[in-house]
Amino acid sequence: MHLIKNLDKKQRVIFFILSTIIFVGIIYFIVISISRIGKVPTTVQYAPYEATITLNGTKINNNSQVWLEPGKYSAKIEFEHFKTIEREVEISAKYRYIVGILEAADSEGEAYIKAHQQDFIETEGIVGQALSQEGRAIKEQYPILNYLPINNRLYSIGYIYHQNEAPSITVKSAPEYLDAAVQKIKNLEDIDPTIYQIDFTAENPFSSYNESPKSDPEETIKASFQLSDTYKLSEGEYIAGQYYVATLYKYDYDKDLICAHYRVLLKNIDDEWHILATPQPLLTQKNTPKTPKDILHYANAFEP
């Protein structure tokens, strides 16, 4: 206050103006900071920059940075003479992009591209960054992708990835090498195979069966699959008293070899043993649903 008293009228006006600007700036900063709590800065860039972008029906600025709450959004990008894009985008702390390039729908759109090439050149670079970041985020979420594809003369293990869905793992091999492929997956470091959809191209000889529950799990399996000399059943093992795992396999007498083990998992319900799902070389939450993961892990670790 003593300092203000020593100022002349002009200096006081300047002082109060500056103080007001600083005060308003602080309030603005606080308001903005509060409004951004829980949100992530997201790059929005679609070429051409004049294209209109809406998220869940609300327009957002193109060629800008916006703050969004993590989650899934329905995006629509449109501009006259260009093909409209409607897609679902998922924003997270690890992926903060809504980027892309519209495709010309007619000759006027193609002419626009030639006249605004810089928009498209800049956006191509951003799209590359986004794809790279998306790839890293996907591999962090699904670490098995760090090991795939695997190819050798016995089998191949690859994957198909659909945006916003867990990848599907595909195992290609002749039946006699299927056990080796399964063991390879089980040996991958820090990988939980039970969270994936795993498809095996080898024909499953146990895909068709008529369940016939019995008071003994082994008898349930034998009655359900009508086993013969060719199709055999291994010794099984009880899991926590309530579950039972064994393997079914086909024995090739001509080649004197086993054509893959298929794990069959049963559960005791009202003193009868029921087959939980079609036998598989590797049990997952996808092919053996509604089964606790620890039970699946135990069953997969079972070796006949």
pLDDT tens per residue across span 214-224: 999 999 999 99
Q: 136 and 158 share a domain? A: no
Whether residue 270 is predicted with pLDDT greater than 70 in this model: the reply is: yes
Rounded mean pLDDT, 232-254:
92
| Residue where the block lists tokens 């929005």 | 44
Q: 132 and 172 share a domain? A: no
Q: 111 and 47 share a domain? A: yes
Task: Report residue 226 as tokens.
Answer: 């009508």
Cα–Cα nearest to 127, from 103, 97, 95, 104: 97
Cα-flanking dihedrals φ and ψ of residue 217, to 5°? Answer: -60, -40
| Residue % of the chain over a pLDDT of 90 | 69
232 found inside a domain: yes
Q: For the domain that residue 65 is a member of, what is the CATH number?
A: 2.60.40
18 found inside a domain: no
Q: 128 and 52 share a domain? A: yes
Q: Look at residue 13 in the predicted model and tell me its pLDDT.
A: 65
Q: 167 and 274 share a domain? A: yes
- The answer to which of 137-146, 172-181, 232-241 has the lowest mean pLDDT is 137-146
Give the amino acid at 233: L
C-alpha 132/C-alpha 144 separation (Å) is 17
Rounded mean pLDDT, 187-209:
94
Q: 175 and 291 share a domain? A: yes
31 found inside a domain: no
287 found inside a domain: yes
Burial of residue 138 (number of CB atoms within 10 Å: 0-12, 13-18, 19+): middle
Whether residue 35 is predicted with pLDDT greater than 60 in this model: the reply is: no
Whether residue 33 is predicted with pLDDT greater than 80 in this model: the reply is: no
This prediction has a pTM of 0.66
Q: Look at residue 90 in the predicted model and tell me its pLDDT.
A: 87
Q: 83 and 206 share a domain? A: no
30 found inside a domain: no
Question: pLDDT grade, residue 227 (50/70/90)?
Answer: confident
Q: Look at residue 134 in the predicted model and tell me its pLDDT.
A: 77
Q: Which residues contact 243 (CB under 8 A, 6 or more apart)?
A: 265, 266, 267, 268, 295, 298, 299
Instruction: Give CA separation, 22 vs 11, 15, 17, 206, 304, in Å.
Output: 16, 11, 9, 76, 76
Q: 271 and 217 share a domain? A: yes
Domain boundary among 124, 141, 158: 141
Q: Which helix (DSSP H) or strand (DSSP E) does residue 281 occupy?
A: none
Whether residue 161 is predicted with pLDDT greater than 60 in this model: the reply is: yes
Whether residue 23 is predicted with pLDDT greater than 70 in this model: the reply is: no
33 found inside a domain: no
Evaluate the CA torsion angle 290, 294, 295, 301 in order and state its sign: positive
The domain containing residue 264 runs over which residues? 150-301
Q: Which residues contact 68 (CB under 8 A, 6 or more apart)?
A: 39, 40, 42, 55, 91
Q: Look at residue 5 in the predicted model and tell me its pLDDT.
A: 58
Q: Look at residue 64 in the predicted model and tell me its pLDDT.
A: 93
Of the two residues 236 and 135, the one the predictor is more confident about is 236
Question: pLDDT grade, residue 273 (50/70/90)?
Answer: very high
Question: What does the mean pLDDT of the chain come to?
Answer: 89
Q: Look at residue 39 in the predicted model and tell me its pLDDT.
A: 84
Domain boundary among 111, 141, 171: 141
Q: 99 and 135 share a domain? A: yes
Domain boundary among 115, 141, 167: 141
Instruction: Give CA separation, 282 vs 37, 193, 194, 198, 298, in Å.
Output: 43, 8, 8, 8, 11
Whether residue 20 is predicted with pLDDT greater than 80 in this model: the reply is: no
Q: 105 and 208 share a domain? A: no
Whether residue 178 is predicted with pLDDT greater than 60 in this model: the reply is: yes
Q: Look at residue 132 in the predicted model and tell me its pLDDT.
A: 84
Peptide bond just before 143 cis, omega within 30 deg: no
Q: 102 and 183 share a domain? A: no
Q: 253 and 121 share a domain? A: no
State the total domains in the chain.
Answer: 2
195 found inside a domain: yes
91 found inside a domain: yes
Burial of residue 185 (number of CB atoms within 10 Å: 0-12, 13-18, 19+): buried
Q: How far is CA 208 from the centre of its chain?
A: 30
| Residue where the block lists tokens 């702390």 | 93
What are the DSSP calls for 224-253, one per residue? Answer: HHT--SSEEE---EEETTTEEEEEEEEEET
